[in-house]
Amino acid sequence: MGEVSLDNNGGFASIRTAPQQHDLAGATGIVLRVRGDGKRYRVNLRTDATFDGIQYQAGFITVDGTWQDVGLDFAQLELSFRGRPVPAAPRPGPHPQLRPSSLSGLGVR
């Protein structure tokens, strides 16, 4: 358990899984069970084993002190690199929409 604070120009905290192949073929999204603090978070999904590469990202807002199920549709995920959008990435192209059969990691920040 910890506390995220924006005091003193803040920063960010994150957690992620080690790279591991997850075949979610046929899935259209994921559901996270979270207990929030009223702040906004982002889930990051990866399809390769890189530590610092392009990822698929979506934001969600929590409810302070409340457990909630957060549903994230794969089709709504945005491409990002180091937390910034990757607007020039075509779909389909070098980084097409997430393929659930090639998921290799999940993180939250």
Would you kindly state where each structural domain of the chain is located, as residue ranges?
A: 30-108
Task: Report the distance separating Cα 52 and Cα 32, nearest Å.
Answer: 23
SS3 of the chain: helix, strand, coil, percent, to 5: 10, 40, 50
CA-based R_g, the chain, Å? 14
DSSP-derived letter for residue 20 is -
DSSP, res 13? -
State the pTM of this model: 0.73
Tell me if 40 sits within 8 A of 59, measured CB to CB.
Answer: yes
Tens of pLDDT along the chain (109 residues)?
666 677 777 666 677 777 788 788 888 889 999 999 999 999 988 887 777 777 888 999 999 999 999 999 888 888 888 778 887 655 544 445 677 787 778 888 7
pLDDT at 69 (0 to 100): 97
